Amino acid sequence: NTSNRLGFESDNSGEVKLKAINPTTQKELPETFVAATEQEVNKAVQKAQEAWKVYRSTSGTQKAQFLRTIASEIEGLGEQLISRACKESGLPSGRITGERGRTCGQLRLFADLVEAGHWVDAVIDPALPDRKPNPRVDIRRMLQAMGPVVVFTASNFPLAFSTAGGDTASALAAGCPVIVKAHPSHLGTNALISEAILRAAQKCGMPDGVFSNVQDASYAVGTQLVQHPDVKAVAFTGSMRGGMALHKAAMERSEPIPVFAEMGSTNPVFIMPDLLKGDAQKVAQQVTDSVNLGAGQFCTNPGMVLVLDDDYTATFVKSLASTFAEKEASTMLNEGIFKSFEQQKNAFLQEDAVEVTYISPVEKSAWKGFPAVATTTGRALLHNPKLHEEVFGPFTLVIKCKDLSEMKAVASELHGQLTATILGPEEKLIKWNDLANILQEKVGRLIFNGLPTGVEVGYAMQHGGPFPATTDSRFTSVGTDAIKRFARPIAFQNCPDGMLPAALKTNNPLNLVRTVNGEIAQH
Ligand code: NAP
């Protein structure tokens, strides 16, 4: 189905036709998709608003069944999904198969979360009628779903950060209907997954409008969605420019709403000299593999490597040149990303005090990420703000600092980041505790002796970070806590037990872990 899906209805009355492009062949794929009209966008939101009235009080067990059925429906798409996603993204089938596993695992993790129910964070201060000098009223607080959510799917994860990715899974888990704005790069993948979600919704008796999918390749549909008064939150992964435009549009509404935008991050990696002394070649290989993973199109791609300028550094930089030279360039996600990588990479290489360490020869005819590594100094980073920008693709900048104090000064100047990493011998890491303290102010996740690519989906994960990595550093877009973006606290004062949500009733019918009188309890 190549139409827009407005709940259980299909609509393709629009005049603007869209085609996905295979980035490997650079040719259009045959299917024609139709951009949503203004009326269709309004209808999708209106249906989400109607569905919300029912879906907001759907039980955790029913939502869990819905999420698990979506996962099974996606698995049921089989080879058709893998083949379409490969054609639209240029990514190999192993990567897409892995991403499908992650997507379904994520849906099932949210199912477990909402079935258990503890996520609503119920807090109860029972009345103390005899408290002196004043009695205390009964107050009970919990998290509740916010309303219809708009999800902008990401280009760089056609499954795991897309139509049924972490944003959709967490919003549906919270109890919010979702309207997806499909990424124009993978319209066919999006359509297949949308059908799977809607089949699951019908099988599980979910209300019409719990999920809609609208297509477009201009900014009109996305902007209209963000400005629609019935939309209550937005999730976005993509460029700084796109994220900030949507954030601004949301702030200019008569009722401003949150836009949880994940934008850019250079994910600096700090390497201790003791590590390079032992095995510069091995470290160079690990960094190279991480930078080149997925043609460098990962939000946690390490775009900066900071070292102290000594004899081991020279060996490390030489090793990086040879490990980079062994990497084959792979096809990038789309023409725009390819062109912008070439432009950003070349702009970096032309900056003063930046030396090319290795650059792969570029074949102009292919949309490939031709890897490059360059070297500069801590001093240059302190004086040139351009060198702090993200280059989205297989590129990294080695920054040689004259001493630890300069390295700390550079760390203090870093923008907000999703991650920062310190690599060093286990027993020596403590020597860089001051640096680790500076980095804590800059990042959402501080990594020791691992590389930033590879984001575990779990209960403790934080995939977010201070601006400009995201628009709101208090939240994560990966892991179970992502659900909190789409829920808000509500307190009930002196509410009769019969009118309280089950999570707050005195006899705890859901058997939740709650905070009662300031203590954790399960009664
Ligand atoms: P993008 O250009 O930000 O677009 C993402 C989505 O947002 C698309 O659906 C796009 O709609 C929409 N959009 C963008 N700007 C908008 C605006 N001003 N108003 C309304 N809607 C808007 O991202 P992309 O296409 O995925 O990739 C472009 C660049 O983004 C990359 O080269 C890279 O630098 C960056 N990126 C970063 C990450 C990361 O994780 N840090 C991930 C992906 C991309 P339309 O396409 O329909 O116009």
Query: According to the 3-state scheme, what is the secondary structure of 417-452?
Result: EEEEEEECCHHHHHHHHHHHHHHHCCEEEEEECCCC
Q: Residue range 152-176: average pLDDT?
A: 98
Q: With contact defined as beta carbons under 8 Å apart, do 158 and 193 qualify?
A: no
Distance CA(355)–CA(193), nearest Å, equals: 45
Q: Which atom of ligand 1 is nearest to the CA of 181?
A: 9
The answer to whether residue 92 scores a pLDDT higher than 90 is yes
Token pair of 402 as six digits? 């004259």
Are the CB atoms for 165 and 39 separated by under 8 Å?
Answer: no
Tokens encoding 497: 């037990």
Handedness of CA 376, 378, 380, 382 (dihedral sign): positive
Give yes or no: 75 in active site. Answer: no
Asked whether the beta carbons of 377 and 406 are under 8 A apart, the reply is: no
Phi, psi of 292 (to 5 degrees): -90, -5
Question: In the chain, pLDDT over 90 holds for what percent of residues?
Answer: 97
Give the pLDDT confidence of 206-249 residue by residue, as tens digits: 999 999 999 998 999 999 999 999 999 999 999 999 999 999 99
Nearest CA to ligand 1 atom 7: 242
Is pLDDT at 12 greater than 90 in this prediction? Answer: no
Please report, for residues 56, 359, 380, 461, 505, the alpha-carbon distance to residue 145 in angstroms, rounded to integers and kept in the order given: 6, 49, 47, 21, 18
Q: Looking at residue 11, what is its pLDDT? A: 86
* Contact between residue 97 and residue 82 where contact means Cβ atoms under 8 Å apart: yes
Rounded CA separation 66/59 (Å):
11
- Which of 33, 88, 155 gets mutated to test ligand 1 (max ligand atoms within 8 A of its CB)? 155
pLDDT, tens digit (0-9, with 9 covering 90-100), for 110-136: 999 999 999 999 999 999 999 999 999
Residue 441 pLDDT more than 80?
A: yes
Phi–psi pair at 216, nearest 5 degrees: -175, 155
Distance 242 CA to ligand 1 centre (A): 5
Q: Say whether pLDDT at 1 is over 80.
A: no
pTM tops 0.75, yes or no: yes
262 Cα–ligand 1 center, Å: 10
Q: Whose CA is nearest to atom 32 of ligand 1?
A: 337
Partners of residue 149 on adjacent β-strands: 178, 233
Spatial contact of 463 and 479, defined as CB atoms under 8 Å apart: yes
Distance 35 CA to ligand 1 centre (A): 17
- Residue to substitute in 181, 239, 259 for testing ligand 1 pocket (most ligand atoms within 8 angstroms of CB): 239
Ligand 1 pocket list (CB less than 6 A): 152, 154-156, 181, 183-184, 216-219, 222-223, 237-239, 242, 245-246, 262-264, 299, 336-337, 340, 392
Nearest to 387 by CA among 415, 366, 362, 406: 415
The DSSP symbol for 261 reads E
User: With contact defined as beta carbons under 8 Å apart, do 31 and 20 qualify?
Assistant: yes
Where does the pLDDT of residue 278 fall: very low under 50, low under 70, confident under 90, or very high at 90 and above? confident
| Mean of the per-residue pLDDT values of the chain | 97
Q: Name residue 400's beta-bridge partners.
A: 307, 377
Q: Which residue matches tokens 């698990």?
A: 68
Question: Hey, is 10 helix, strand or coil?
Answer: strand
Distance CA 69, CA 108 (A): 9
Q: With 90 as the cut, is the pLDDT of residue 428 above it?
A: yes
Neighbours of 192 (CB within 10 A): 19
What are the respective helix, strand and coil percentages of the chain, to the nearest 5?
45, 20, 35
- What Å distances lie between residue 5 and 17, 166, 282, CA to CA? 15, 20, 50
Beta carbons of 37 and 214 less than 8 angstroms apart: no
C-alpha to C-alpha distance for 173 and 480, rounded to whole angstroms: 10
Per-residue pLDDT averaged across 70-81, rounded? 98
CA 177 to centroid of ligand 1, rounded, Å: 23
Which of 40, 99, 262, 342 is catalytic? The answer is 262
pLDDT band at 2; cut points 50, 70, 90: confident
Cis bond before residue 452 (omega within 30° of 0): no
- For residue 239, the CA-to-ligand 1 centroid distance in Å is 5
Residue 523's pLDDT is what? 82
**Residues 86, 104, 299, 401: which is the catalytic one?**
299
Joined together, the tokens standing for residue 39 give: 């009326």
Q: Can you count the helices (H) and strands (E) in the chain?
A: 14, 25
DSSP structure string for 23-70: TTTTEE-S--EEPPPHHHHHHHHHHHHHHHHHHTT--HHHHHHHHHHH
State the average pLDDT over residues 171-181. Answer: 98
The pLDDT of residue 224:
97
* pLDDT attached to residue 364: 82
Tokens 């000064």 correspond to what residue? 409
What is the rounded radius of gyration, in angstroms, for the C-alpha atoms of the chain?
25
pLDDT at 322 over 80: yes
Torsion angle of C-alpha atoms 304, 309, 310, 315, degrees rounded to 10: 40
In angstroms, rounded to a whole number, what is the distance separating the alpha carbons of residues 102 and 110? 12
* pLDDT value at 272 more than 90: yes
* Higher-scoring residue by pLDDT: 523, 521: 521
CA distances from 213 to 47, 64, 195 (A): 12, 21, 9
Q: Is 262 a catalytic residue?
A: yes
Candidates 7, 3, 5, 4; CA nearest to 47 is 7
Cis peptide before 135 (omega within 30 of 0): no
